[in-house]
Amino acid sequence: RIAAEDGLSGKQINSFLALSRDRALAKAAAIDDLAALGDPLPLLAGVPVGIKDVLTMQGSPATAGSKILSGYMPPYDATAVKKLDAAGAILLGKLNCDEFAMGSSNENSAYGPVRNPRALDRVPGGSSGGSAAAVAAGFATATLGTDTGGSIRQPAAFCGVVGLLPTYGRVSRYGLIAFASSLDRVGPFTNSVKDAATVLGVLGGQDSLDATSSDRPADDYVTALTKPVAGLKVGVPAEYFGEGLDPEIRAAVEKTIDQLKAAGCTIVPVHLPHTKYAVPTYYVIATAEASSNLSRFDGVRFGHRTETPANLSAMYKKTRDEAFGPEVKRRILLGTYVLSAGYYDAYYKKAQQVRALITRDFLEAFMQVDVIVGPMTPTPAFKIGEKSDDPMAMYLADIYSVAASLAGICGVSVPCGTTAEGLPIGVQIMGKHFDESTVLRVGAAVE
Ligand code: GLN
């Protein structure tokens, strides 16, 4: 299927950047041997999975969608990859994404855009566009993506699959090529909420290699799905239903809320008053952290190095000039600016203060309700090329994603219908820190 439809011919979805054929076949044979012995099989035995190319996987290149990492072969598995492997999953290869996970359409990949399998002239969303498309196209049963400001949930909504944002600290970031370390999270794309719960159970848990991973043990997320949702309080934030929300998405999300009411949930209007500051706050903090994290790509240790530079400083500059794409350069410039002496207090420090207010909005809302439900995206998947020349329009489309990212809370995007044109619509369910069980339970009730 991948050879026929992904890249080599046919539909050219372009979700895979590298196939790990040898590793996959060896693993499949090992699982066969286990089965032949009659031994108990691990939880994900034989399940084909794909990995976003910002995570390391031994034996496969890791590009992070960037030319600057071309030729880089990481010598180890990211913890999340290692856990899938240990649970018996078959690792198919590495998935296309926006360069260093910066983007909302997968058009910022140095290796070409990904097409949305549900509508080939449309973007799959981003930055984990390849991960969402691979599940939607049936190439993999589950994939790993990363979400810094929406990059799991938004492409899941655009491609009509489930995308889970675990709480910050729930899943180890070891082996993740960092974009914005205080925001980056690893999580799964799947076809169903139950599959997402299953994969989270495998991924969750403390990792001595990531000091920000929580020591809280992972819950039994699959068993949690069997509890009824009746009696839960569902918050509906007015700020998520304002101007700019596509009417078909509004109608589909309102229908989902009615469904929860019919299932015995209490619907409670809530307020998240600082929502309007979430996009600017996110783009200050994320670019600040990115400008620092990306300083390591200087042509010395990883990937691309310019040819015949005049001296060391020219080597750094030319390497970075040649191999970073325009969006990455824009963000390094923005991030360096907001961190610079004289501007730090006005931008970076202010953004940190507003981040605290956004987090407080959620903590206050969660004193009244168990989950918060709203639209995942203001519009369905847009056409390839439609927004690629307008970074501001692209950033503003992250309006419903970035607040949960800043607050560190968990969330899931679940398909809740399609537009008249047949484009998928996603509903977002946000939950308290480490309360993935409730978020998934509500997700299962509406899928
Ligand atoms: N679209 C957002 C950005 O461009 C989010 C990306 C992400 O979550 N990695 O930064």
**Cβ-contact 205, 217 below 8 angstroms:** yes
Burial class (CB in 10 A: 0-12, 13-18, 19+), 53: buried
Distances (CA, A) of 156 to 53, 110, 228, 421: 17, 22, 25, 18
Confirm whether 52 is a catalytic residue.
yes
Q: Which distant-in-sequence residues (6+ apart) come within 8 Å of 92 by Cβ?
A: 2, 16, 19, 20, 24, 48, 49, 50, 139, 140
Q: What are 445's two structure tokens? A: 């009730």
Q: What distance in angstroms lies between residue 241's CA and the mean position of ligand 1's atoms? A: 21
Residue whose structure tokens are 């399998």 = 117
Helix axes 436-446, 193-203, angle to 10 degrees: 160
Catalytic residue among 60, 66, 104, 127: 127
Is residue 31 scored above 90 in pLDDT?
yes
Q: Which residues of 81-165 form beta strands (DSSP E)?
A: 90-95, 142-147, 162-165
3-state secondary structure of 245: coil
CATH superfamily ID and name for 2-274+359-446: Amidase signature (AS) domain (3.90.1300.10)
Residue with the smallest CA separation from ligand 1 atom 5 is: 149
> Which pLDDT score, from 0 to 100, does residue 10 have?
57
Q: What distance in angstroms lies between residue 32's CA and the mean position of ligand 1's atoms? A: 39
The per-residue pLDDT for range 294-335, each reduced to its tens digit, is: 999 999 998 999 999 999 999 999 999 999 999 999 999 999
**Cβ-contact 170, 436 below 8 angstroms:** yes
Q: Is 101 left (phi over 0), alpha (psi -120 to 50) or beta?
A: left
Indicate the top mutation candidate among 148, 177, 327 to test ligand 1's pocket, ranked by most ligand atoms within 8 A of CB: 148
Atom of ligand 1 nearest to the CA of 152: 8
Does residue 388 or residue 98 have the better pLDDT?
98
The per-residue pLDDT for range 67-125, each reduced to its tens digit, is: 999 999 999 999 999 999 999 999 999 999 999 999 999 999 999 999 999 999 999 99
Is residue 9 scored above 60 in pLDDT?
no
Q: What distance in angstroms lies between residue 12's CA and the mean position of ligand 1's atoms? A: 24
Arithmetic mean of pLDDT over the chain? 97
The per-residue pLDDT for range 201-214, each reduced to its tens digit, is: 999 999 999 999 99
The per-residue pLDDT for range 274-295, each reduced to its tens digit, is: 999 999 999 999 999 999 999 9
